[in-house]
Amino acid sequence: MNAMMHPTTDVMRPIELRRPAAPLRGSDGGTDFPKFASTRVSFLKDRTIYFEGDDASHHYRVVSGTVRLCKVTEDGRRQIVAFPTAGDCFGWTGWDSYCHSAEAVTPVVLEKISRRSIEEAVQSNPGLGRGVLAMLSDQLMSAHNHFLLLGRMTAAERIAAFLVELARRQDRLDDEGGTIDLPMSRIDIADYLGLTIETVSRTISAMKRDGLISATALGSIRLGRSEALEQLALAA
Amino acid sequence: MNAMMHPTTDVMRPIELRRPAAPLRGSDGGTDFPKFASTRVSFLKDRTIYFEGDDASHHYRVVSGTVRLCKVTEDGRRQIVAFPTAGDCFGWTGWDSYCHSAEAVTPVVLEKISRRSIEEAVQSNPGLGRGVLAMLSDQLMSAHNHFLLLGRMTAAERIAAFLVELARRQDRLDDEGGTIDLPMSRIDIADYLGLTIETVSRTISAMKRDGLISATALGSIRLGRSEALEQLALAA
DNA sequence: CGCCAGATTGATACACATCAATTCTCGTGG
DNA sequence: CCACGAGAATTGATGTGTATCAATCTGGCG
C-alpha cells in the first residue's frame, strides 16, 4: 500500500474561453451563495482549472458539469477532496495559493469571480459575507462527515454512502428505481473514497448481484430499494 | 472491521462554571480570531461540552487545555474530527444543531460566545467577519489535508504526521530532541487517525526501536531527528 | 501494597491492495 | 454499418497491512 498506487499526472494548462461578463445573475440551483460580478469560463473534460500552489486569485461557481478537487502526494497517491457540481463553489482559501488542484470531470461551465471583487463586495455589504460563511460552514460539515467515511467505514459502506450522496444531490433519492448519473471514472471514485479501482468495481458488482442497484450503461446506475443503501451508508 | 470497534459512550452532562464575563480580552496565541464578548467556562477531564444534535447556541474558543470533537456512528464507531487547543475555535456551524460532540481531553478553560452576539457584531462591523472567514478557511484546509491522511497514508505515516502536527502546534518542531505533549489517550489518537489502539501502540513502539522518537513518561514524547518524521509525514 | 484502567505485546484473521488477465465500451475509420 | 483498437472496467489469484482476539505489562492512586 505504501508505494504509488495510481499516479495521476496532468500537464495540461487550462484554456479559458472569455465570454461577455454576466454580472449579478439570477438564482439557479445550489446554495444561496451571493451573486458577485463574474466571468463565464469553460473547460474541456480532464482539463485543469488550477493547480495546487497556483496563485489563489479567483473563486469559482459551477454552472454546469462536474469538477474534481485533488490533492496528490509526491509519490503519486491521490485523494479527491470534493466533486463540485452545478451550484457548488470552490477555490476559496484564506491563503495566497490553492491547496488542491481543480480539474474538469466533464466539460464544465464556471462562473469565475476575482478574489478582490469578493473582498470589496463583502466590505461594502456585510450581508454578502453571510453567504460565504454559510458556504464554508457547509463544506466543513461535509468534510467532517467524510472523515467518518474515510476513517471508519468499510468499502461497501463507502460506496453506498457515495451513491446515496449522489442521489440526494440529483434529487433522485425518493424516486424508486431512479437512475442517477455517475459522471466520474472508477479511479475518481476510488480516490474520493480512499479505495482502489478494483475494490470499487468489485463492490459495485456485488451490489448488482444483491439487487441493491442495477445498471443500463456505464456512467449511470439505477437504485433498487434505496433504503437498503441508506441503511449501509448509516451516517451518524 | 464491520462491527463495533471501540464503542465510546458518554452520558455525562456538561457542568458549566459561570465566571465573571471577560469581554474583549487581549490577544493570546492562535489565530487572529476577533474578540467578542464572552463568558469563561471550565470543564473537567472527559466531560462533554456539547452533544451532537444539541442546539448550536454557542461558539467556543479554547483558553487552555485540549478538546476533542467527535462523530460517532450508531454502532459505536468513532471518528475524532479535531483536537482544538489554546487559541483554537470550535462549535461554529451554519445549522441549528451541532454536527459533532465536543469533550474535554484535559481540564479545559473556554471562552463561550453566544451565536447571536457574533452575528450582531459581524452585522455592525464587517471587519469582524473576516476573522471568522479566515478561521473557517483554515479549518477547511486542515480538513482536506486530513483527507489525504485518512484515505491514502499508512499507519506509520499517519502517526508521523500526527506527531509532526503536534510538534508544530507546540512550537517544538525545530528543537532538536524537543519534548512534546501527548495529552490524549491512545484511543483518542486511534480515532483521530482512523486506526486501532493496537496499531497506534505498535507503530509508536516501532518508532522508538528505530530511534525516531523516545519517551520518558507516558503522555510525552521526545523527537529524535524530526526530519525523518517529517519525511514520513510527507505531506503534499 | 495491591488494584485497575490504559498500554503494550503476541497470535491469528480478514478486508482490501496488488498483480495479472480478460472483457467491456465506445470512438473511429474502412 | 461493422470491424477494429485502446482505454476503462471487470474479474481472478494472491499478498499484506491492519484489525481482531487474547494475554501480559505498566503506572498512577487509594
Distance of residue A165 Cα from the nearest chain B Cα, in angstroms: 17
Gap from B150 CA to D21 C1', Å: 25
Closest-CA residue of B relative to A233 is B73
Confidence of residue A33 (pLDDT cuts 50, 70, 90): low
pLDDT exceeds cutoff 70 at B130: yes
Residues B19 and B26: their CA atoms lie apart, in Å, by 17
Q: Which nucleotides of C are covered by protein (CB under 7 A)?
A: 6-11, 14-20, 25-26
Q: Would you tell me which residues have their CB within 7 A of strand C? A: A 1-3, 5, 154-156, 194-196, 198-199, 217-219; B 1-2, 185-187, 197-198, 200-202, 204-205, 218
Confidence of residue B10 (pLDDT cuts 50, 70, 90): very low
Provide the mean pLDDT of chain B: 85
Say if residues B182 and B219 touch (Cβ distance below 8 Å).
yes
Say if residues B65 and B8 touch (Cβ distance below 8 Å).
no
Q: Return the percent helix, strand and coil in chain A, to nearest 5.
A: 35, 20, 45
Extract the C-alpha cell encoding A73.
502526494
Three-class SS state of B216 = coil
Gap from B187 CA to D22 C1', Å: 18
Burial code (b: 16+ CB inside 10 Å, e: under 16) for A161-175 equals bbbbbbbebeebbee
A:72-101 Cβ neighbours of strand D under 7 Å: none
B:214-233 Cβ neighbours of strand D under 7 Å: 217-218
The residues, ordered by sequence, that sit 6+ positions from A106 with a Cβ below 8 Å of its Cβ are A45, A65, A66, A183
Say if residues B183 and B106 touch (Cβ distance below 8 Å).
yes
Residue A220 Cα distances to A148, A176, A184, A216, B234, angstroms: 26, 15, 10, 7, 37
Residues A110 and A88: their CA atoms lie apart, in Å, by 10
Contact B148 A234 (CB under 8 A): no
pTM value surpassing 0.75? yes
Q: Which of B228, B188, B231, B191 is nearest to B210 (CA)?
A: B228
Quote the pLDDT of residue A107: 96
Q: How many CA atoms lie within 13 A of B21 on its CB side?
A: 9
Burial code (b: 16+ CB inside 10 Å, e: under 16) for B72-102 equals bbeeebbbbbbbbbbbbbbbbbbeeebbbbb
Q: Name the closest residue (CA) to the C1' of nucleotide C9.
A: B202
pLDDT exceeds cutoff 90 at A153: yes
Q: What is the mean pLDDT of residues A173-197?
A: 92
The residues, ordered by sequence, that sit 6+ positions from B133 with a Cβ below 8 Å of its Cβ are A94, A129, A132, A133, A136
**Lowest mean per-residue pLDDT among A147-156, A221-230, B117-126, B185-194:** B117-126
Residue A59 φ/ψ, nearest 5 degrees? -120, 150
The amino acid that residue B228 corresponds to is: A
Confidence of residue B35 (pLDDT cuts 50, 70, 90): low
Distance of residue B111 Cα from the nearest chain A Cα, in angstroms: 20
Say if residues B34 and B111 touch (Cβ distance below 8 Å).
no
Q: Which residue has the higher pLDDT, A97 or A126?
A: A97
Percent with pLDDT over 90 in chain B: 65
Residue B160 Cα distances to A66, B148, B164, B212, B223, angstroms: 35, 14, 6, 9, 10
Q: Which residue has the higher pLDDT, A57 or B235?
A: A57
Strands (E), chain B: 39-43, 48-50, 58-64, 67-72, 78-82, 89-90, 101-104, 108-114, 179-181, 213-214, 220-223
For strand D, is any atom closer than 7 Å to the CB of B3? yes
Quote the pLDDT of residue B173: 79
Contact B144 A94 (CB under 8 A): no
pLDDT exceeds cutoff 80 at B14: no
Length of chain A equals 236
